[in-house]
Structure formats: structure tokens, C-alpha cells
Structure 1
Amino acid sequence: MNSAPTPASTRTRIKICGLTREEDVDAAVAAGVDAVGFVMYAPSPRHVSAERAAELARRLPPFVTAVLLFVNASAADIAAACALLPTALLQFHGDETPETCLQAGRTFMRAARIPLDESPADGADAFDLVKYVEDFKAAQAILLDAHVDGFGGSGKTFNWSLLPPSVNAHLVLSGGLTPANVTDGILQVRPRCKTLAVDVSSGVEISAPGGSTLKGIKSADKIHHFVAAVRAADDLLAGHHVRLPTA
């Protein structure tokens, strides 16, 4: 018997990031994701040019959003990419200030880099997510990723239980998500915010020898398992009796 529809208040939006191939865009769309991300940061192994991103984005049907990820990009580079993808949402993942984000003139998300350590080292101040949300109140959402060396997706999971109990923002949970842990992440973080989305990259990539992944090369099976795990979390939050998906 089919479960009842998931209420909108508990429906978790899904973004697959770091796409580089047509077949991966098609797999994400077929799985029912809400957004796909293209990395505009040249040092990233998942980088694509704005021209390539526009080419891939033309495969998207209505109501699936293209997202452009920037890291400390120049205003000219942002404007050039926006001209090629006029409906794309922007994601700022570097040292951008609130003013820099607004200058782009587009709806945007701002990444917050959450420390991996449970306590600040050497007397440093703890990361204040509530203040960060207030500083970037013009953002459509705040994306939570683990703070590691370098920029872009970390592939690391921070301690979700240390997030503030109440954050007055739409949040996007990222950093080390996989089909195996995303259900737990949603159950822990969703009650702390207005709405929750999830963003995955390495967690749905094809496995490489040694436990790493082929960066930018997605697995259709992993994408589908990831989406199923997200929907299982939504059903649990809605009070439905569900069987969790297996990988």
C-alpha cells in the first residue's frame, strides 16, 4: 500500500552537485531531484566552463533548477556565466561578503563552513551560525559544509548534533552525505530550521580503487538510492511507517 503524500513542510529538496556529463544530468532528473549544480571554480576537479554548464543545463526540464557554484570569482566572471544561464541560482562558497553576493543581482545561497572539531582550538571563537544567518539574511538559503583546507565541496561530515537547536533560515545540508547517512542527517537537522534541503556530490560518484571516487562522474544507481533515502527520512518525519532503503 502506498504511503500518504509527504506534507510540503517536511519535503526535503535535493541537489546533485558537480555534474560534468549529459548522462549524469539525465540520471539526476530521472531520479526526481530539484536542482543540479555546476562548479565554476577552476581548481576543482569537477570544474566546468560556463559554456559547458549552459550546454548541460539545456537538458533540464521545467522546475529543475541549475545552480552555479562560485569561489571568490570576479564580478565579470559571474556576470558572464549568468548571461549564459539566465535562470540559474548562484551559490557562493568562498570568502564573499554579503555585499559581494548582492552585487551579482541574482538569488543566491551562501555556504557556511562548519568546523569539524567539536570545540574551538587555542581559545578561538566557536562558529556562530545564528549570526552568520543574520549577516547573510538576503540569501535564499544557507548551505552547511564542513570547514577543511581549500574551497568547494569537502566530502567531509561535520557533527550535526552541535548545530544550534533553532536557526531561522532555510538550510541546505552538505558535506560527506551518502545514501547511507543522509536519512540520519535529515532527521537530526530538519527540526532545527525553517526548511531543509540536501546537497550531495562525492557521495553519489562512481567508486575508484582505494576508496576514493571518480570526481565529477556520477553513478545513476547511487543517485537513485540517495533520493530514496531522502524520501524515507521525509516519511519518517511525517509519521509514516516506512522501510528504509538499502544500498
Structure 2
Amino acid sequence: MKVKICGITTEAAAEQAVQSGADFIGFVFADSKRRIDKEGAKRIAKGIPNQVKKVGVFVNEQASTINAIAAEVGLDYVQLHGDESPEFCKQINYPLIKAFQITSKEDLLNLADYRCDYYLLDSPAGKYRGGNGETFNWDLVKNIPGVDGKVILAGGLHAGNIQLAVTEVNPAGVDVSSGVETDGAKDHKKITAFINEAKKGDRHGNISATE
């Protein structure tokens, strides 16, 4: 089970995520209370080992800006969390995670139009795109044809419900931000607890750890 800890803004939180077994570290470059500038992300990225992939989250940003930031920070993936079209996605020079807000089965029809490395399925947007701490109806995203091994589940996940989410949806990975925070800041104990719970199945051989 791949685990992405998103909204990282400090070196200490990144180090805790890495030590606890995170597979992806997410930096938010869009409007958010967790927003980070490229200088801050670059500083943190230097301490992240190569096996942990660095993801930049963007919302309706220009492709040239995305590619420039990705190059400067040293990102491994770009995550698009806005209204980007399939044609826009082709302009991104990095492995791609495309986020979709799921409110009904009809929302899943859009996935077929996109060619990306992962499809991140999230709850509907609140004030910001993502990171709102709300789950959605997981029944909607069971057994999606054509995306085996490419689904990342997000939205309202935390250590208390992650095992149920994994059992219900069987995604390739999970994404968390507010679910590992206390009073708006990354909580090191919650980061470790979440990753341990998410990867429980790996230790029992029930869930593939391959991409």
C-alpha cells in the first residue's frame, strides 16, 4: 500500500513521514493553508531520500509554471487538483497524478479521458481543492474498470478509518493531509499511526506493495 502524506511544510514533518514509511511526500503550491513556496519545498526536498517520491500539487496553474517549479524543486510527480483538461495534462513533463472530486458514478466517466500514472479520487471541494477532511461514498469507486493499480484514495482518511477504506476500495495508494494534523499542524504521532494502519495489510501479504 502506497501512502502519500500531503501538505508538508516543515523538514521535521517530512523526516517523520519518511522514517515512518511514507512513499510520497506532497507539497502544495496552490491556494491552501498548507501552501509552500518553491524555496521552502526545495529546502525540504533535499533531505528526502530518492526512494520517497516528491509530489507537487497544483490547481489550475500554467503548464510552464508547473514544469519550471517541478524542475527547480526536484519533483518526481505532478498532481493536478483543478479543472485541467486531458489536453493540458499532456503539457506536463513529469509523471502525473490527476485528482477527481467524486459525488456520483457519473464523475468516474471522466477518468477514461485522462492518461496519467495515478487517479486520485477525493471528496468534493470545500474552501480549497482537497485537504478538507471529508470522506465520500466509497461504494461509488469500487471496481472501476481500466484503472487497476492506479487509484489513490483521498478525502477524510485518518488512522481510525484507513483500514476500512482499504478493505472497501482496495486502492493502490492512499493520501492524507488533515487526518494527520492537530490544530492545523502536522502531528508526528498521527503520521506514524496512519502509515502503520495503512500498511498493515502489507505485512500480512494481503495487499500488493508494487506500483
- Asked whether the two chains share a fold, i.e. TM above 0.5, the reply is yes
Counterparts of 1:187-198 in structure 2, within 5 Å, are 187-190=167-170, 196-198=172-174
Deviation at 1:236, TM superposition (A): 6.0
**How many Å separate the matches in 1 of 2:176 and 2:140?**
21
Aligned residue in 2 for 1:40: 29
- Cα pair 2:23 2:53 within 8 Å, conserved: yes
Task: State how many pairs are aligned.
Answer: 204
Question: What's 1:68 paired with?
Answer: 56
Amino acid at match of 2:131: G
The answer for the alignment partner of 1:146 in structure 2 is 123
Give the corresponding residue for 1:127: 106
Q: Percent identity?
A: 35
The question of whether the paired residues in 1 share the 8 Å contact of 2:130 and 2:155 is answered with no
Task: Give yes or no for contact 2:45–2:54 (8 Å, CA) kept in 1.
Answer: yes
Q: State the Cα deviation string for residues 95-151 of structure 1 (Å, max 9, x = none).
A: 000111110221111001011xxxx6xxxxx5241x322111x20010010013342
Instruction: Normalising by structure 1, report the TM-score.
Output: 0.77
Q: Secondary structure at the match of 2:146?
A: strand
Equivalent residue, structure 2, for 1:58: 46
Q: Which of the two has higher C-alpha Rg? A: 1
Alignment pair present for 1:226 and 2:194: yes
Structure 1: which 5+ runs fail to align?
A: 1-11, 121-125, 209-213, 240-247
Q: Describe the SS at the equivalent of 2:194.
A: helix
Counterpart in 1 of 2:2?
13
Q: Which segments of 5 or more consecutive residues in structure 2 lack a partner in the other structure?
A: none
Residue identity matched to 2:141: L
Q: Does structure 2 retain, via aligned residues, the 8 Å contact 1:187–1:237?
A: no
> Counterparts of 1:87 and 1:162 in 2: how far apart (Å)?
31
Instruction: Give the secondary-structure state (helix, strand or coil) at the position aligned to 2:123.
Output: strand
Taking structure 2 as the reference length, the TM-score comes to 0.90
Higher strand share: 1
Of residues 152, 156, 160, the one that matches 1:180 is: 160
